[in-house]
């Protein structure tokens, strides 16, 4: 199971903001001293104040895990934003403060990997930069493929030019610049027992890379992924949810979610992303079939049938019994 450890909330200061290519801002956040340590692949939760109310949103750490004095983030101003990234771009300037929770890591490097191949699409490169730093420090074999629409839309170019492992990073632009568009027939290595793949980016990009890897013969245990957004359909047939500890029973309607139905009955499940990608709302299931709609749980965890993302997933039958 991924790291779901509790962390204390922090109020951090924006020490630096860089408005980079591709509508991506780089943020450096600092506190009063050393910050909680993190490993590559970790993210932090930022509290975003929007006109519709406060929202929690998750952003990968792209800095060096060995650097203890700050957190570095890259945040895309997404035109399809539900309000979080747009508000952060508008509000956060050097000197401003922001509420932060974490770090948490749902996307760690495999300790037994002999070779790591990293695929970052657009803003999905952020956790890959931290992974590349950690792999380089360990003297491990790796390649980072960074795919964007064009050089003019490619953030972090100035940083990448200074990195000691610059020759391990392959830039791919859809308009034909750099190494040309990502070509999985060429750039995806044949499966080997010690080779692990890591994928992050827009959902279409990830589905493409993961599908090609599965077709090539990579087992699911060696394909690691993290979604930063996902299209999720939370609707479906109604069902009943019973909370074994509290004795509360609710009906989840066709357009309702488990988390919302339980909240109205006084049983609170913490929810942040509302898209099934962050894992905050994962809840233990005692009984009942699960219709998984999330992108957080692994296939192995889904097969176990004892956990559900309550913000989006549903029952596959008439009733679920939760350990609440």
Is the separation of the CB atoms in 146 and 200 below 8 Å? no
CATH topology for 115-227? Rossmann fold (3.40.50)
Over 50: is that where the pLDDT of 2 sits? Answer: no
Per-residue pLDDT, 113:
97
d(CA 161, CA 193): 32
Q: What are the residues whose beta carbons fall under 8 Å from the beta carbon of 55, sequence distance 6 or more?
A: 47, 48, 82, 83, 84, 87
pLDDT band at 276 (very low <50, low <70, confident <90, very high): confident
Q: Domain limits of the chain?
A: 10-105, 115-227, 239-322
Averaged over 103-107, what is the pLDDT? 92
Task: Identify which has the larger pLDDT, 51 or 148.
Answer: 148
Per-residue pLDDT, 1:
41
Per-residue pLDDT, 176:
84
Of the options 3.40.605.10, 3.10.105.10, 3.30.2320.20, 2.40.30.10, the CATH number for the domain spanning 10-105: 2.40.30.10
**Average pLDDT in the chain:** 91
Over 60: is that where the pLDDT of 302 sits? Answer: yes
d(CA 324, CA 322): 6
Most confident of 42-51, 85-94, 306-315: 306-315
Q: What is the pLDDT of residues 23-38, one digit of tens each?
A: 999 999 999 999 999 9
Over 80: is that where the pLDDT of 230 sits? Answer: no
Q: How many CB atoms lie within 10 A of CB 195?
A: 16
Q: What are the residues whose beta carbons fall under 8 Å from the beta carbon of 120, sequence distance 6 or more?
A: 126, 127, 128, 129, 144, 145, 146, 147, 200, 201
pLDDT band at 261 (very low <50, low <70, confident <90, very high): very high
pLDDT band at 82 (very low <50, low <70, confident <90, very high): low
Q: What is the pLDDT of residues 158-212, one digit of tens each?
A: 999 999 999 999 999 999 877 899 999 999 999 999 999 999 999 899 999 999 9
d(CA 158, CA 160): 6
Averaged over 306-324, what is the pLDDT? 94
Closest by CA to 140, choosing from 152, 151, 131, is 131
Task: Identify which has the larger pLDDT, 62 or 228.
Answer: 62
d(CA 37, CA 19): 26
223: helix, coil or strand? strand
CATH dotted code for 239-322: 3.10.20.30
Q: How far is CA 237 from the centre of its chain?
A: 29
Cα-based distances in Å from 206 to 210, 223, 225: 6, 11, 8
Over 80: is that where the pLDDT of 232 sits? Answer: no
Instruction: Return the residue matching tokens 């408005």.
Output: 19
Whole-number CA gyration radius for the chain: 20
Is the separation of the CB atoms in 314 and 252 below 8 Å? yes
Per-residue pLDDT, 93:
95
């Amino acid at each position: 199971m991924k790291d779901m450890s509790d962390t204390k909330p922090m109020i951090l200061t924006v020490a630096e903001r860089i408005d980079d290519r591709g509508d991506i801002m780089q943020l450096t956040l600092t506190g009063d001293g050393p910050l909680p340590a993190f490993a590559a692949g970790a993210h932090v939760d930022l509290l975003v104040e929007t006109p519709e109310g406060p929202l929690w949103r998750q952003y990968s750490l792209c800095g060096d895990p060995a650097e203890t004095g700050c957190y570095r983030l890259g945040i895309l101003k997404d035109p399809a934003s539900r309000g979080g990234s747009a508000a952060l771009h508008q509000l956060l300037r050097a000197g401003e403060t922001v509420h932060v929770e974490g770090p948490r890591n749902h996307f760690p490097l495999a300790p037994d990997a002999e070779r790591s191949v990293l695929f970052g699409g657009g803003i999905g490169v952020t956790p890959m930069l931290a992974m590349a730093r950690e792999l380089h420090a360990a003297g491990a074999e790796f390649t980072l493929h960074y795919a964007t629409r064009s050089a003019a839309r490619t953030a972090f170019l100035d940083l990448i030019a200074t990195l000691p492992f610059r020759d391990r990073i392959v830039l791919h632009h859809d308009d034909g610049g750099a190494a040309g568009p990502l070509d999985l027939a060429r750039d995806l290595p044949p499966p080997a027992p010690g080779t692990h793949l890591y994928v992050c980016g827009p959902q279409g990009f990830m589905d493409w890379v993961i599908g090609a890897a599965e077709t090539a013969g990579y087992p699911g245990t060696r394909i690691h992924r993290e979604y930063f957004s996902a299209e999720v359909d939370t609707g479906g047939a109604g069902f009943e949810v019973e909370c074994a500890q509290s004795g509360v029973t609710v009906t989840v309607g066709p357009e309702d979610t488990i988390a919302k139905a339980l909240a109205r009955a006084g049983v609170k499940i913490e929810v942040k992303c509302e898209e099934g990608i962050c894992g905050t709302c994962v809840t233990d299931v005692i009984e009942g079939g699960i219709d998984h709609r999330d992108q957080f749980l692994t296939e192995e965890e889904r097969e176990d049938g004892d956990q559900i993302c309550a913000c989006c997933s549903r029952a596959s039958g008439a009733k679920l019994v939760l350990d609440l």
